[in-house]
A and B are shown apart, each in its own frame.
Chain A
Amino acid sequence: MNGNGSIELNASIEHVWKKLMDPEVLAECIMGCKQLVLIEEGKYRAELAVGIAAVKGKYDATIELVDVQAPKGYKLVVHGEGAPGFVDAEGVIHLTPVAEGKTNLTYSYTAEVGGKVAAIGQRMLGGVAKLLISDFFKKVKKEIENEQKTA
């Protein structure tokens, strides 16, 4: 399963980059993320609670930032395991400045699931993935632009 998209953010590339590298922001914006703990440089342990179709459950996940090219982009590698099965996902985020105080963010992702979540949730998976991703960027946008206003 895969997908891609883009959004425009009303902030400078440097500001967007800073936010996207901030584990607190990431934890805030990932739906169902209970905790994000740095375990080594660029690698976090997270606890994710996600419901896909009838399969709700917790995943112990590692989230790794690789190919970090400040401030242009990075790749996010997620591996989660839990009672509902496992999730392997990769997302590539790419930033380009479009105008003064405006940044274009493009993303693409691939995801694979296994175990119960694949057996029961497969039909819903595309939709759920889209929901999770769009929710993430919606929150990121809000996080970035809200702060812009208050700043």
Chain B
Amino acid sequence: MKQNRIGQPMSRVEDARLTSGQGTYIDDLNPLPNIHHAAILRSPYPHARIKSIRTEKAQQMPGVKGVVTGQDIVEMTKPFPVGVTAPVKYYSLAVDKVRFVGEPVAVVVAKNRYLAEDALDAIEVEYEPLPAVVDIEKAMEPEAPILHEEVESNIANHRTFHYGDVNKAFMEADFVIKHKFFFPKYSATPVETYGVIAHYEACGNNLTIWSNFHGPFTLQSVMAAALQIPSNHLRIIIPKDVGGSYGIKSGVFPYMVLMGVVSKKIGLPVKWIEDRQEHLMASSSGTDRVTWIEAAVQKDGTVTGLKMKMVDNVGAYIRAPEPACLYRTHSNTTGPYRIQNLAMETVAVMTNKSPTGLIRGYGGPQLYFPLERIMHMIADKLDMDPAEVIRRNLIRAEEFPYKTASGGIYDSGDYLTAFEKALEMVDYQGFRERQEKAHQEGKYLGIGLACIVEPSGSNMGYITVALTPEERAKSLPKSGCAEGATVSIDPMGGISVRISTVPTGQGHETVAAQIVGEVLGVDPRSVKVIAEMDTLTSPWSVASGSYSSRFAPIGSSAVYHAALKVRQKLLEIAADQLKESIDNLDIESGKVFVRNNPEKQVSLKRLIGSAHWNPQGLPDGMEPGIHETAFYTIPTALPPDENDLVNGSATYGFVADAVTVEVDPDTGEVKILDYITVHDAGKLLNPLIVDGQIMGGLVHGLGGALYEELAYDSNGQFLTGSFMDYLCPTATEIPPVTIKHFSTPSPLTPLGAKGLGEGNTMSAPVVIANAVADALSPLGITIDSLPLSPNRIWSLIQEAHNQKQLKEELV
């Protein structure tokens, strides 16, 4: 009986240590003697010139070992490279100017954190405040305060795209429906904040950094370039336990460089653990975005063309991997719909807010909010049922693999069937009747729908769409999504697997064990998986890390291929010993046996023993030992072509959501009655982990829909610096959720799997917005911004009442 194999709900091997307090997080690490502690002085101003910094008093305080300022940083590092042509100088400490509240200005190192924090008070910084700008549209006005004088405007990146015949589609349209949408800036608030330990050894010019970073991917190169150190002298070690990232932990990289420089200057190993206030104020977040969207629509509800202008606010400094938020969904801009005419304008602006970066769903929530809202608005305008408008436009099952207008290759799917399943589960017709009745009783019920395509396994090439084809032609093309894994067996038969996917809670150790167990015919619980990342010893490549849900399509495939190599070697040794053809052999329950004659067998232990203890007994020419590494990428992850067509992701899943809500007209409170989500993520590797990931992603999206916003006042002051002001959903806010799986395996990945951890992060904000808009439609209210907090809804209701009254008075 095969247990815990691929596709079975094996309980997570990580959980025993995590639930018994034996996890090892960055703050638990004490890898060196004599570690000193750093504290960071931060700017209270959103925009100011630094006239002077006086550190003498702080330097002389007891226990203080040294102070580092922007002056040191300029002397010891180069600005971080970033994938745009705008000459933005981003350093790990403010130099000459501060550009957002919370920007690091100086670092104190002391014997302990208390002394370091006290010494911060003794540093005197003289600021000359400058006018600030935080609003996207204001930042683009000619008279706006300029953050980076050398850029000459606040625009960091600007591109236009034209696919198909957009003008024809709009000329021939029966209707053009357009609207402007605002998406807020929010974060993911992992339980564990950032942490860094840096140790510079002058002898040998070696810098070792321990951090709960979720890279290394492209950012190891970015850090090495900033530090001006050979990349093999920058050793990054990431503990096997990271307390959540959701993308946000990629933003620790400036602090890794900062602490590297601090360790180098002070001559001591240094540890810095971020506190929660620092985290909310200055770590990283998603972008806020303004989207102008226009749809060319025929009478029957068919959408023939789309125009979108999207402007992302990347905060005070554009930093890698931005402006990727604008392009991560480039290949799936038209979502699940058969729209082949698409015009896009993408802009990244810099304002006096904290810098942005990766976050679960990256670009998806910002894209689908306008796209799925406009589908509902089309239904309103045409007086059609939104379900019918969606149905009419969905890609048909027989059209897969489907090539999108912008070059995406949707590998598999049956969107219509999955969507109908969601409608059936929510009892769509029945709810419409309930809604009608409730309305007569003065209650506001609503139903929202959303269909989204979930990209996973990012093609590194998509980021270069930020550059024009001419700019791209000047350097090496970028493509692929390479990941590595090693499977080895020790002389006693112990199997270990080394992965480089840097899990931050997704259970990669468990799934890797399931895959290797299956391929080698052993109990997955006997397979040891090492998830700790070490850039000097792990098998990694430029795409390695935990982002774009890449473990299921890519990371697992690397593990699978490495295990296949080991299996092949074991079978070859067995064929030699059993004097049988390799084609007749099978591997199971710790043995290799002849398929038609199972009595004829040899134990794995003996085969492994041969490879280690008796290499002379191996088949001719075979290397001793068992240690195999495989790297995997997907052949469809090509560089963008000269027409800006790009397939940005390895695989594309599908999510159909149906959500019902009730809105209290007196308090503006939104209550979610039912949340139905139908997922197609190809073959599921471990259904238990899958449902956990879906719930987590959904709750993050729920936060974006109803609660979370990193708010700033118009002067650039940050207003949500604690969990009293920055509201996250907790257990009591979670609505009833029903998850249903519907599987069309990916023909591209060896296991048929696709990524799935981000789908509902992308769909929840818009599906809830659609439901609320539906509930409030009798009042003529339009939802085009988030979060749908009670005060926002209440104000909309009051406004609607006032307008109605005004109209009645005029009549």
CA distance A46 to B70 in the complex (A): 29
Interface pair B120/A114, CB less than 8 Å apart: no
Contact A120 B722, beta carbon cutoff 8 Å: yes
- CA separation between A123 and B723, bound complex, in Å? 12
Q: Does A151 contact B (CB under 8 A)?
A: no
In the bound complex, CA of A82 to CA of B123 (Å): 10
Tell me whether B281 and A83 are in contact (CB under 8 A). Answer: no
Whether A119 touches B722, Cβ cut-off 8 Å, given contacts A85-B44, A86-B44, is yes
Asked if B715 and A119 make an inter-chain contact with CB atoms under 8 angstroms apart, the answer reads no
User: Quick check: is A141 within 8 A (CB to CB) of the other chain?
Assistant: no
Contact between chains at A116 and B277 (CB < 8 Å): yes
- Write the nearest CB–CB distance from B353 to chain A, whole angstroms: 13
B101 touches A115 (CB 8 A): yes
Interface hits, A90-143 → B, CB 8 Å: 112-120, 122-123
> How many Å lie between the Cα of A86 and that of B722 in the bound state?
18
Number of interface residues of B (CB under 8 A): 22
CA distance in complex: A112, B45 (Å)? 12
Q: Is B720 an interface residue (CB 8 A)?
A: yes
Asked if B277 contacts A120 (CB within 8 A), the reply is yes
Quick check: is B42 within 8 A (CB to CB) of the other chain?
yes
Do residues A122 and B44 form an inter-chain contact, with CB atoms below 8 A? no
B722 near A115: Cβ-Cβ < 8 Å: no
| In the complex with contacts A58-B121, A85-B44, A114-B101, A119-B718 CB distance below 8 A | yes
Report B133 CB to chain A, min CB distance, Å. Answer: 16
Shortest Cβ distance from residue B189 to the other chain A in the assembled complex, whole angstroms: 15
Nearest-CB distance from B137 to chain A (Å)?
24
Q: What residues of B have a CB within 8 angstroms of the CB of A86 in the complex?
A: 44-45
Q: Is residue B202 within 8 Å, beta carbon to beta carbon, of the partner chain?
A: no
Residues of A within 8 A of B717 (CB): 112-115, 118-119
Interface check A81, CB cutoff 8 A: yes
When each residue 719-760 of chain B gets 1 if its CB lies under 8 Å from chain A and 0 otherwise, what string results? Answer: 111101100000000000000000000000000000000000
Whether the Cβ atoms of A123 and B725 lie closer than 8 Å is yes
| Least distance between A137 CB and chain B CB atoms (Å) | 28
* Complex interface: chain A residues within 8 A of B120 (CB): 83
A118 touches B718 (CB 8 A): yes
Give the docked Cα–Cα distance between A86 and B43 (Å): 10
Measured CB to CB, the closest approach of chain A to B314, in angstroms, equals 21
CB atoms of B721 and A116 under 8 A apart: yes
Question: A120 near B721 (CB under 8 angstroms)?
Answer: yes
Minimum CB–CB distance from B663 to chain A (whole Å) comes to: 25
Which chain B residues (176-196) contact chain A, with CB distance < 8 Å?
Answer: none
B720 to A119, Cβ gap below 8 A?
Answer: yes
Binary contact readout A56-83 vs B (1 if CB under 8 angstroms, 0 otherwise): 0110000000000000000000000111
**Residue B695 interfacial (CB < 8 Å):** no
Contact A122 B725 (CB under 8 A): yes
Expressed in whole angstroms, the Cα–Cα distance for A99 and B511 within the complex equals: 86
Residue B223 lies at the interface, judged by CB distance under 8 Å to chain A: no
Instruction: Compute how far the CA of A113 lies from the CA of B101 in the bound complex, rounded to whole angstroms.
Output: 12
Asked whether, in the complex, the Cβ of A82 is within 8 Å of the Cβ of B721, the reply is: no
Q: How many Å from the CB of A133 to the closest CB on chain B?
A: 21
- Min CB–CB distance B392 → chain A (angstroms): 48
Distance between B432 CB and nearest chain A CB, rounded to angstroms: 41
Minimum Cβ distance to chain A for residue B352 (Å): 12
B563 interface residue, CB < 8 Å from A?
no
> Which residue from chain A places its CB closest to the CB of B122 in the assembled complex?
A83
- Tell whether, in the assembled complex, residue B42 and residue A112 are in contact, meaning their CB atoms are under 8 Å apart: no
Q: Which of B121, B715, B719 contacts A122 (CB 8 A)?
A: B719
In the bound complex, what is the Cα–Cα distance between A82 and B120 (angstroms)?
10
In the assembled complex, B607 has its CB within 8 A of some CB on chain A: no
Q: Of A82, A115, A118, A122, which is within 8 A of B42 by CB? A: A115
Query: Please, which residues of chain A bring their CB within 8 A of the CB of B280?
Result: 119
Q: Which B89-123 residues have a C-beta within 8 angstroms of A?
A: 101-102, 120-121
Q: Which of A54, A58, A81 contacts B44 (CB 8 A)?
A: A81
Q: Give complex CA distance A81, B120 in Å.
A: 13
Interface string of B429-442 (1 = CB under 8 A from A): 00000000000000
Min C-beta distance of A34 to chain B, whole Å? 14
- Considering only CB atoms, which chain A residue lies closest to B126 in the complex? A81
By beta carbon, the residue of chain A nearest B117 is A83
Residue in chain B with minimal CB distance to A118: B717
Task: Say whether A119 contacts B721, CB under 8 Å.
Answer: yes
Alpha-carbon distance A82/B125, docked complex (angstroms): 10
How far apart are the CA atoms of A128 and B810 in the complex, in Å?
45
Interface centre among B120, B715, B718 (most CB of A within 10 A): B718
Decide if A118 touches B719 in the complex (CB within 8 Å): yes
Whether A114 touches B281, Cβ cut-off 8 Å, given contacts A58-B121, A119-B722, is: no
Contact check, A123 vs B44: say whether CB atoms are below 8 A apart.
no
Chain A residues near B725 (CB-CB < 8 A): 119-120, 122-123
**Contacts A119-B718, A123-B725: A82 and B281 contacting too (C-beta < 8 A)?**
no
CA distance A82 to B121 in the complex (A): 7
In angstroms, Cα B45 to Cα A57, docked, is 17
Residue B43 contacts which of A54, A113, A115, A122 (CB distance < 8 angstroms)?
A115
Which residues of the partner chain A approach B101 to less than 8 Å between Cβ atoms? Answer: 114-115, 118-119
Q: Mark B499-540, 1 if CB is under 8 A from A, else 0.
A: 000000000000000000000000000000000000000000
Residues A114 and B44 in contact in the complex (CB < 8 Å), given A83-B121, A119-B280, A119-B281: yes
Contacts of B46 in A (CB 8 A): 114
Q: Which of A86, A115, A123 has most chain B Cβ within 10 Å?
A: A115
Smallest beta-carbon distance B52→chain A, Å:
13
CB-defined contacts of A113 to chain B, threshold 8 Å: 717
- The distance in angstroms between the C-alpha atoms of A118 and B42, with both chains bound, is 13
- Complexed CA–CA distance, A114 and B713 (Å): 10
Q: Are A116 and B44 in contact (CB under 8 A)?
A: yes
Residue of A nearest to B720 (CB): A119
Q: A7 to nearest B CB, angstroms?
A: 31
Give, as a whole number of angstroms, the nearest-CB distance from B467 to chain A: 36
Shortest beta-carbon distance from B57 to chain A in Å: 12
Instruction: Give chain B residues whose Cβ lies under 8 Å from the Cβ of A83.
Output: 120-121
Q: Which residue of B lies closest to A122 (CB)?
A: B719
From B45, B720, B722, B724, contact of A114 by CB (8 A): B45
Contact of B722 among A54, A82, A112 (CB under 8 A): A54
Q: Taking the nearest CB of chain B, how far is it from the CB of A94, in angstroms?
A: 28
Q: Which of B42, B43, B44, B280 has the most CB of A within 10 A?
A: B44
Q: How far is the CB of A66 from chain B (nearest CB, A)?
A: 19
Contact with A along B32-48 (1 / 0, CB 8 A): 00000000001111100
- Among B258-301, those with CB < 8 Å from A are 277, 280-281
Q: How close is B805's CB to chain A, nearest CB, in angstroms?
A: 31
Which among B42, B43, B721, B725 has the highest number of chain A CB atoms within 10 Å?
B721
Q: Which residues of A contact B713 (CB under 8 A)?
A: 118
CB A117 to nearest CB in B, in angstroms, measures 8
A137–B280 CA distance with the chains assembled, in angstroms: 37
Complex contacts, A118 vs chain B, CB 8 Å: 44, 101, 713, 717-719, 721
- Produce 1/0 per residue, B153-166, CB < 8 A to A: 00000000000000
In the complex, A115 Cα to B127 Cα: how many Å?
13
List, in ascending order, chain A residues with CB within 8 A of B45's CB: 86, 114-115
Quick check: B44 and A115 within 8 Å, CB to CB?
yes
Q: Say how far A90's CB is from chain B's closest CB, in angstroms.
A: 15
Closest to A88 in B: B129
- 30 A–B contact pairs at CB < 8 A? A57-B121, A83-B120, A83-B121, A86-B44, A86-B45, A112-B715, A112-B717, A114-B44, A114-B45, A114-B101, A115-B44, A116-B42, A116-B44, A116-B281, A117-B44, A118-B101, A118-B717, A118-B719, A119-B101, A119-B102, A119-B277, A119-B717, A119-B719, A119-B720, A119-B721, A119-B722, A120-B721, A120-B724, A122-B719, A123-B724
A positions within 8 Å CB-CB of B: 54, 57-58, 81-83, 85-86, 112-120, 122-123
Given contact pairs A119-B280, A119-B722, enumerate 5 new A-B contacts (beta carbons under 8 Å).
A57-B121, A115-B42, A118-B721, A119-B717, A119-B721
Query: Which A-B residue pairs are the 7 nearest by beta carbons?
Result: A115-B44, A119-B721, A85-B44, A118-B717, A114-B44, A120-B721, A83-B121
